[in-house]
Amino acid sequence: MNLHYDTIAAIATPPGIGGLGIVRISGEKAEEIARRLFVPRSPQNNLQSHCLYHGEIVDPRDRSTLDEVLLAVMRHPHSYTGEDVVEIHCHGGFLVLQSVLQAVLREGARMAEPGEFTKRAFLNGRLDLTQAEAVVDLIESRTQKGMSQALGQLKGELSTEIGKIKDDLIELLSSVEAGIDFPEEDLEELSGEMLLSRVDSCSARIQGFLATYEEGRIYREGLCTVIVGRANVGKSSLLNVLLQEKRAIVTEIPGTTRDVIGEIINIKGVPLKVLDTAGLRKATNIVEEEGIKITREKLSEADIVILVLDGNEKLSAEDREIIQELRGKKAVVAINKIDLPQKLPRSEVEKEGLEGQIVEISAKEERGIDKLQEAIFSTAVTQNAEGPSILINRLRHKIALERAGDSLKKTRESIEKEMSPEFVALDLKLALEHLGEIVGETTTEDILDRIFSDFCIGK
């Protein structure tokens, strides 16, 4: 299905200087516009689809050369968008790409909106909505696990599994509706027990997917992880070790870190946005006071907290105050400076009753860091061995599955109460509708606009 929209164009490669940049055109006038701009090195009467041609892009106004390029025409329906697509492979300079793009726009294309190429791919049936979402997930993935998850979704793995549940519900609905529409026919009816068994089977698979949401979200979005502790316990040293680079300033002077320093790190495939914060203590000046205020704000937003304690000193009143602030938080305790004589035994920390693993480390000598990373990972991710291997990672998917599950719960209640089969059929239809929202079969224009607005221009 090709919906014949107007013709759009955009630069499809990231901004900056590089060896190659691509201007992409999509729509029914894409090839017509390209022919007015492109002069092949070897005369061509016909540009074949999915072939590269060497030549120049010229300005039709004065026939001046804008760039030496390679050009590819990909005719519908065998293109990314399902429309005629032209890609102009230019040299990767900002002015070069802008000059070529402006020439394309002057010839009748309009500037593409964010995600419009992928939106057209969805509307033209080249991708379903989960695959379209996977495109941006793949671009933004920060770890191998996140990339693998996005690739699987792009291949249609999630869509396939959702489709299997839908197929079972459609078959069940057909049996129920056949009994409604043809009551006098000698049709084999499903008993209440058989209906319940099949509804329960579908419900269990939906619950299995719901159980993967938190893990899937973590791999896609990452976790806000705050390193906290009183001044001069080694928080900045720990950040530098986790990053394997000197990102934070480390000195013996308490209060060196005045602002929040944030970096993305990869721990066993989980992207963590780690924030090194100002030491929590009584501020000595207005600048330090502002830093401590920001620390407390970030602490309230944190998914995981790494509490750093000084193993070379006994537990202080400030340490105990910080521990009190961490009640109810996912936390990992790092007893630092094990390279020095120890005055803080693990048992003393355990007495404070803070939930979370305790690891003894030396940030200075990089000892115990692997154990700390393992503790962070196990705190971040609670893997569901019984759930499906395919994870859901978006709130939209979770809400749709919850609604489908609620509809099946009502279906079960109707069957148990031996209500009219029309009620059973209605709830089954609602469950199917909610599952259809995931792949985009029953999605409103407003939702589509919100999804594709997250994309970059040119994709």
**One domain, residues 18 and 121:** yes
Please check whether residue 459 lies inside any domain of the structure: no
Segment 301-312 mean pLDDT: 88
Average pLDDT over residues 399-418: 94
CATH of residue 238's domain is 3.40.50.300
Q: Indicate the helix (H) or strand (E) that contains 106.
A: helix 94-106
CA 364 to CA 79: how far, in whole Å?
Answer: 54
Q: Does 97 map to a domain? A: yes
pLDDT above 80: residue 164:
yes
pLDDT digit string, tens, across residues 175-207: 888 767 555 555 455 667 888 999 999 999 999
Structure pTM?
0.76
Q: How do residues 93-151 score in pLDDT, each as one tens digit? A: 899 999 999 999 999 999 999 999 999 999 999 999 999 999 988 888 878 888 888 99
One-letter amino acid for residue 219 of the chain:
Y
Which whole number is the average pLDDT over 266-271?
Answer: 84
**What is the pLDDT at residue 14?**
85
Q: Please state, for a pLDDT cut of 90, what percent of the chain lies above it.
A: 51
Same domain flag for 403 and 443 = yes
Q: How many helices (H) and strands (E) does the chain have?
A: 16, 13
Q: What is the enclosing helix (H) or strand (E) of 21?
A: strand 18-26
Instruction: Point out the least confidently predicted range of 54-63, 152-161, 320-329.
Output: 320-329
Does 328 share its domain with 428? no
pLDDT band with cut points at 50, 70 and 90 for residue 245: low
What number of residues does the chain have?
459
Domain that holds residue 300: 219-380
Which residues on adjacent β-strands are paired with residue 305? Answer: 226, 331
The H or E element spanning position 377 is: helix 369-380
- Locate tokens 């937003």: which residue? 301
Q: Which residue, of 109, 126, 143, is where some domain finishes? A: 126
Mind giving me the DSSP string for 218-248?
A: HHHH-EEEEEE-STTSSHHHHHHHHHTS--S
224 and 201 part of one domain: no
Write down which residue in 99, 126, 153 finishes a domain: 126
Same domain, 25 and 120: yes
Pick the last residue of a domain from 380, 415, 442: 380
DSSP H or E stretch at residue 330 = none
Same domain, 375 and 398: no
**Mean of all residue pLDDT scores within the chain:** 85
Q: How far apart are alpha carbons 160 and 153 in whole angstroms?
A: 9
Same domain as 290, residue 323: yes
d(CA 328, CA 436): 37
CATH of the domain at 52: 3.30.1360.120
